Amino acid sequence: QANYLREIEVDSAGNVYVLNAHRLNESCLLWKYASDGTPLACLSLLAPSSPAKVADPVALHLSHDGQTLYLLSGQQDREHPDSAVLYGVSTTDFSLVRTVTITGIPVVTSITEDPATGTLWVTGFRTMEQAPAFPWLPPEFTYTPLLGKVPAGVQTAEATAIADPTGDVSILPVSILWTGNE
């Protein structure tokens, strides 16, 4: 059921990759279509046979070389509440080719890549463990924005806070895009 489309990527051959996600995880699917719209593959991300169990997928990124699709779950892992897992699946057959645990980032929002180095960048945030006693506090006091740097070939990485040190700007990283080194 493809009625909750969330993310889309297109490779150099014109193949289209689409993430479908449902808040109740009824239809967390990764689709691959040919450039003419013909369905080529569908991976149920929660099926027992799925190589990458990704509930509520919120981020999809096609690697610069076009060989790997990276996926992130929008749900915090109850067993590992302070980390997220980045899954890399082959664009050829959706087999699992890479997993990376990113510590210090319980909720992820987006992913991009430096094409020159293959370094992946993941945004997200950490919320306060308890609601503030004073609900009129501005939102910047209720979460910490985070950025994870994942160099090529590593299996673990750590996120760091990216809050504005002056406190003048409230940052909630929703999306990230690589635009170049300068």
Both tokens assigned to 31: 């689709």
For residue 155, the model assigns a pLDDT of: 95
* Backbone dihedral angles phi then psi of residue 128, each to the nearest 5 degrees: -65, 145
2-30 pLDDT, tens digit per residue, is: 667 788 999 999 999 999 887 665 688 99
- CB-based burial label for 103 (10 Å; 0-12, 13-18, 19+): middle
pTM here? Answer: 0.85
75-117 pLDDT, tens digit per residue, is: 877 888 889 999 999 999 999 999 999 999 998 999 999 999 9
**d(C-alpha 145, C-alpha 123), whole Å:** 8
Q: Which residue has the higher pLDDT, 181 or 29?
A: 29
40-86 pLDDT, tens digit per residue, is: 999 999 888 998 888 888 899 999 999 999 999 888 778 888 899 99
Neighbouring residues of 141: CB distance < 8 A, sequence distance ≥ 6: 128, 132
**d(C-alpha 45, C-alpha 29), whole Å:** 6
